[in-house]
Amino acid sequence: MTAFHDGLPDEIKMKSVAIIVPAFNESQTISNTIRALADWTPPSGVKLTEIIVVDDGSSDNTNELIQTAIIHHPQVICLKNSRNLGKGYSVTRGILHATADIVGFTDADLSYPPSLYDEFILPFLNGNIDVVVGSRRHPKHYGYRQYPFKRRAATHFFQLFIRMLGLTTVSDSQCGLKFFTRDAANRVFSRTMCSGFSFDVELLFLCRRYGFNVREIPVEMEEQRPSTIRLTSQVPRMLMDLLKIRFRHLKRKF
């Protein structure tokens, strides 16, 4: 017998979606980003219920702008860190605060526009998928072409190092657009320890350890501003983080 909930059979029950946006000194972008997210119309059977903006200790008026946006968009929730704690910490806090069936995160400058989101959401409705991630290195749509050679070379080396350590087989660990089922999000984000840029790799490593079904979707990044990554200082730190991720979880039971 088919069970019903709120007038709909369980198999076609409305799915809720939450989008988490980490924000640090984003006064130039955050209002437009929230507006664009609130205007997104999800696929049939899906409802956007939460836009969780995590203010990562901004020193400008980012928080004031978020509070103003809440007045016009009731699905917006603001979480404020007491100080700058990093993107990984902020995303994790937002994900674990969310209550939706499907949770995802994106960058505050909206480098990946909402027009892409339907393609990320549909796999959760149509198949046995736990995680959907964007890939700028996908053969069907190589989204790194516009980047300077130095950055492309560093990215290639970084991804090669990740594979050598056996952390993930996903082609583009650093793409800032990822979605998870509620169960996958709870299990993965409750175990993350990285707070910086390498937290994406830790997420994917944990997904692999749990045996989650991960699908890659080709994307091209619409870069809204110059990258804040400084190769000479941040890449060596990220490489050290990768080694920590590999050996930190070796003795942990799953």
The string of DSSP letters for 125-154 reads HHS--SEEEEESS-TTS-TTTTS-HHHHHH
Determine the pLDDT at residue 208. Answer: 92
Cα(184)–Cα(188) distance, integer angstroms:
6
Query: What is the pairing mode between strands 102-105 and 214-218?
Result: unpaired
Cα(117)–Cα(43) distance, integer angstroms:
9
Cβ(81)–Cβ(55) below 8 Å: yes
- Cα separations (Å) of 254 from 85, 131, 145, 213? 27, 18, 38, 16
Determine the pLDDT at residue 55. Answer: 98
Spell out the domain ranges in the chain: 9-248
Residues of the chain with pLDDT under 70: 1-12, 138-156, 223-235, 249-254
The CATH number for 9-248, chosen from 1.10.3720.10, 3.90.550.10, 1.10.10.10, 3.40.50.2300, is 3.90.550.10
- Cα separations (Å) of 22 from 72, 97, 107? 20, 13, 7
Helix (H) or strand (E) holding 104: strand 102-105
Q: Which of 1, 3, 34, 5 is nearest to 20 (CA)?
A: 34
How many helices and strands, by DSSP H and E, does the chain display?
A: 8, 9
Determine the pLDDT at residue 197. Answer: 73
Cα(91)–Cα(189) distance, integer angstroms:
9
